[in-house]
Structure 1
Amino acid sequence: MHVVVNAAMSADGKLSTREREQVEISGPADFDRVDALRAESDAVMVGVGTVLADDPSLTVDDDARRERRRDAGKPDNPARIIADSRVRTPTDARVLDDRAETFLLTSEAAPQDFVAEITEAGAEVVSAGEQQVALPEALAQLEDRGIERLMVEGGGELIFSLFAADMVDELSTFVGPAVIGGWKAPTLADGDGFVGDFPELSLRDVERVDDGVLIRWDVP
C-alpha cells in the first residue's frame, strides 16, 4: 500500500486552534489540489478526532473528477476510513452516509453494541489490535480489500502513529499565512513524539500556492 499524508498547517505548524476548532488555512487553489489527490486515491483516512471536530464528508467535489473515476471503473468517491480506538464515531457522522464505502478501524476491545450500531449506520468494521488500532494489521486488511493508494488527511495523532509504524511514503504540507499558537493546539504529528531515530524526509519540491507554500517530501 502506498500511503500519502496531506495536511494544511499554519506558519507555526498548527492544524487547528487549542479548542480543536477548524480554521480555514488553505485557499481555493489548495482546496482544488486536495480534491485532485482524493480523486486519485483508493481511500481517504482520518482519525476520529477529525470526524468529531470537522464532520468531513471526505468525498470528491469536482464533477469531472468523479466522472473520470466512473470511466475508469471506480466508484464516484474513494472509500473512507476512520481510525477509532476509543469508539467515539457518531452514528450520524457524514462519513457514514451512502456517498462512499466506509471502513471503521477499531480494536478487538470495542464493545459489540458499538460495532453493531456503527455497522447499522453504514460502516464496515475492521478490528486490529487488542486495546488500540494496530495500524499495520488494519491497513494490511484494507489492502486485501483492494485499497492500494491511501490518502491520509489527519489528525496529528494518526499521522504520528503512521510515521512511528514506518508506513508513510509521501508527505505534502501546505503552510498557510497565519499564526495560531498555543501549546495545546494540534500539530502535524502529535502523539508521544520521537526522541531518536527520527523519520527522514527527502525534499521533492516547493511551490507557492495561494498565499502559502506547498512542500512535498518523499519518505525513503
Structure 2
Amino acid sequence: MHVVVNAAASADGKLSSRRREQIAISGEADFERVDRLRANSDAVVVGVGTVLADDPHLTVKDESLCNERLERGEPKQPARVVVDSKGRTPTDAAVLDDAAATYVCLSEAAPVDTRLELADRAELVTAGDERVDLLRAFAALESAGLKQIMVEGGGELIFSLFEAGLVDELRTFVGPKVIGGRDAPTLADGEGFVEAFPQLRLERLERLDEGALLCWTVEH
C-alpha cells in the first residue's frame, strides 16, 4: 500500500478557521491537480470530522479523468473511505451515495444500530476497541484491493496516520492566507509528537496559483 496525504493549508499552517468552516485556500490549478490525484488513487480517505464539517462527495469531477480510469479497467470513481471510530457518519452524507463504493472504518465502540444503518450504504471495516486501529483497518483495505491511497484530512486523522507510520508522501499546497486562531485545525493535530518526529525529504517545490506546492516523501 502507498499512502499519500494531500492537504491545502494557509501560510500559517491552518486547514480552516476556528469555526471549522470550509475555506477556499487554493485555486483552479490546484483543484485540477487534486482531481488528477484522486483519479490516480484506488481510494480517497477522510476522517469523520471532515464529513461532518464539509459533507464532501470525494469524487473525480473531470469526466475525461473518469474515462481514463475506465480505459485502465478501473471503476469510474475511486472508492471513498471514512475513518469513524464511534459511527458518527450521517446516513444522508454525500459520501454514502451510489456514485462510488464507500468503506466506513469503525471501532468496536460504534453502536450496533448505527452499524446496521451504515451497512446498508457502505462496506464496514471494524478494527480496534475504542478507536479505529489504523494499521488493521488499512491492512483490510489493502486486502480489498485498495493499494494507492489518497488521504484528504482532517488534521486528527493525518496525525494518527503519521503516528502509525502509514504515510509515504505528503503533498501540501500552501496558500496566500493567514487564518490564525489557537483552536483552528492544523495539518497534523492530535496529541502531537514530543520525540521521534517523522522526517520528511523535499522532492519538489513549485509555484501554483498564488501559493506553493511542496511534495515530500516520508523517511521510514
CA offsets 1:154-191 (integer angstroms, 9 cap, x no match)? 00000000000011000000000000000000000000
What secondary structure does 1:190 align onto?
coil
In structure 1, how many angstroms separate the alpha carbons of the residues matched to 2:171 and 2:195? 23
Q: 2:58 corresponds to which residue?
A: 58
1:212 and 2:197 matched: no
> Which residue is equivalent to 1:196?
195
Structure 1 unmatched runs, 5+: none
Secondary structure, counterpart of 1:201 in structure 2:
strand
TM-score by length of 1: 0.99
Structure 2 CA distance, aligned partners of 1:177 and 1:93? Answer: 31
Q: Are 2:86 and 2:109, in contact at CA under 8 Å, matched by a contact in 1? A: no
5 Å matches for 1:79-158? 79-120=79-120, 122-158=121-157
Task: Look up the match of 2:2.
Answer: 2
**Pairs within 5 Å for 1:150-189:** 150-189=149-188
The aligned amino acid for 2:75 is: P
Q: Which runs of 4+ in 1 moved over 4 A?
A: none
Superposed displacement of residue 112, structure 1: 1.1
State the one-letter code of the partner of 1:101: A
Contact 2:126–2:137 (8 Å) recurs in 1: yes
* Partners of 2:88 and 2:94 in 1: CA distance: 14
Deviations 1:62-88 (A, max 9, x none): 011000101111111100000001221
Deviation at residue 108 of structure 1 after TM alignment: 1.5
SS in 1 for 2:80: strand
**TM value normalised by structure 2:** 0.99
Q: Please, what is the CA RMSD of the aligned residues?
A: 0.5
After the TM superposition, which residues 61-80 of structure 1 pair with which residues of structure 2 at under 5 Å, given as runs? 61-80=61-80
Q: Which runs of 5+ in 2 are unaligned?
A: none
Counterpart for residue 42 of structure 1: 42
The equivalent of 1:15 in structure 2 is 15
Q: Which moved more, 1:109-118 or 1:195-204?
A: 109-118
- Structure 1 position 109, deviation (Å): 2.1
Instruction: Give 1:14 deviation, angstroms.
Output: 0.2
CA distance in 2, matches of 1:184, 1:165: 24
What is the DSSP-based 3-state SS (H/G/I as helix, E as strand, rest coil) of the residue aligned with 1:118? Answer: helix
Once residues 86 and 184 of structure 1 are traced to their aligned partners in structure 2, the CA distance between those partners, rounded to angstroms, is 23
Q: What SS class does the counterpart of residue 141 from structure 1 fall into?
A: helix
Give the secondary structure class of the aligned counterpart of 1:219: strand
User: Percent sequence identity over matched residues?
Assistant: 63
Give the SS at the match of 2:215.
Answer: strand
Amino acid paired to 2:72: A
AA aligned to 2:145 is G
